[in-house]
Amino acid sequence: MPDTTPARRPRSLNAPDLGDLAQDRTLIIACGALAREIGSLIGRNGLGHLALRCLPATLHNTPDQIPEAVREAIRASRENYGRIVVGYADCGTGGLLDKVCREEGVERIPGPHCYAFYTGNDAFAATGDDDMTSFYLTDFLVRQFDTLVIKSLGLDRHPELRDMYFGNYEKVIYLAQTENADLTAAAEKAAEKLGLVFERRFVGLGDLAHFINEIN
């Protein structure tokens, strides 16, 4: 009886191997608060070898959960990428995120939080004492101020809690990533809601831009 098994079509010598393509790509596992900024850097600078996966920005309300959420994302993605980097600062994890990064063999952007690497870690450290009583906003936090600050802290229902949360602050510093009049106006309004003096500093993307652009 003749063999009727279909012959396998030989793979073209010029066809890329999907495994090889995966190994040529780098995944950035980042905080959702950085999605717009990292995405713009990837697109604007033609960094097509980079892919982005963002975890929910609301994890910042429970920073103790960030390290294991990052670990889970690393392990779920490892076989599909040749390299993985982490787009989180320490973000209140008390060094636990660094421990995960060491154990999983990945690196993260240096810095204690996004306010520092947006400003530039060295520049932020130099003004630390002067700004000790400041509450920081970024473009993302301005856009999400009512959701992440007013509503999550219950200030929409109990405005009397404002002094408990913000009584020791003196001003709001808006660390702006973009020149955007609407965001500046919204940031100033946020400061008014908190009863604090308003200051705006344009910082751009700071060390985040250097970190992303230097990923091979």
| 3-state per-residue secondary structure call for 109-135 | CCCCCHHHHHHCHHHHHHCCCCCCCEE
Domain residue spans of the chain: 18-109, 115-202
For domain 18-109, is the CATH number 3.40.50.11610? yes
Strand partners, 175: 201
Q: What is the mean pLDDT of residues 76-104?
A: 97
Quickly state the pLDDT bin for 24 (edges 50, 70, 90): confident
Among 12-21, 180-189, 201-210, name the one with the lowest average pLDDT: 12-21
